[in-house]
């Protein structure tokens, strides 16, 4: 409890200290919220790290390469053994819901934007192991990595 001796200086000091305390409390609440959000986020992998992940899982039936580009984009070249679910499709979320949530997924698109959004959706749907390829297939190709048609 605060003792008020009538001093204007002590009242100012009290308000100042309380404002600092409120800011710190807000900061800690924000940090706790961010940690919870980060715990449920997905990994962002460079094309090099993605290639390493693909190679390490080439015989793993629980590993899925998910291309979220349009069918037209997919037909122009895609990663070997990938499946295609069109991010812009009206039933995209329903199609994601048909996938097994306990498998390991590497999601990619043209530039990394759609795949990042798709990976976030997958995490919110309860998928446990989801990674996004940064830079998408554009960066993959720029680094001279193979695709198939």
pLDDT above 50 (res 138):
yes
pLDDT of residue 10: 74
- State percent of the chain over pLDDT 70: 81
Query: Among 109, 116, 118, 137, which one carries the catalytic annotation?
Result: 109
**77 φ/ψ sector (left φ>0, alpha ψ -120 to 50, else beta):** left
Instruction: Give 24 or 22, the one with higher predicted confidence.
Output: 22
pLDDT of residue 13: 78
Q: Give per-residue pLDDT as tens, 103-120.
A: 999 999 999 999 999 999
Q: Does the active-site annotation cover 38?
A: no
């Amino acid at each position: 409890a605060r003792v008020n001796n009538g001093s204007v200086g002590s009242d100012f000091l009290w308000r100042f200290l309380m404002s600092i305390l409120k800011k710190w409390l807000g900061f800690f609440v924000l940090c706790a919220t961010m940690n919870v959000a980060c715990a449920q986020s997905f990994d962002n992998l460079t094309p090099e790290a993605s290639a390493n992940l693909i190679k390490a899982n080439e015989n793993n039936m629980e590993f899925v390469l998910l291309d979220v580009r349009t069918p037209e984009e997919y037909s122009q070249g895609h990663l070997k053994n990938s499946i295609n679910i069109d991010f812009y499709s009206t039933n995209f979320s329903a199609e994601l819901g048909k996938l097994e949530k306990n498998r390991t997924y590497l999601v990619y698109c043209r530039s990394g934007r759609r795949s990042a959004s798709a990976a976030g959706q997958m995490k919110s749907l309860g998928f446990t192991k989801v990674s996004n390829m940064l830079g998408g297939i554009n960066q993959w190709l720029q680094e001279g990595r193979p695709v198939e048609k």
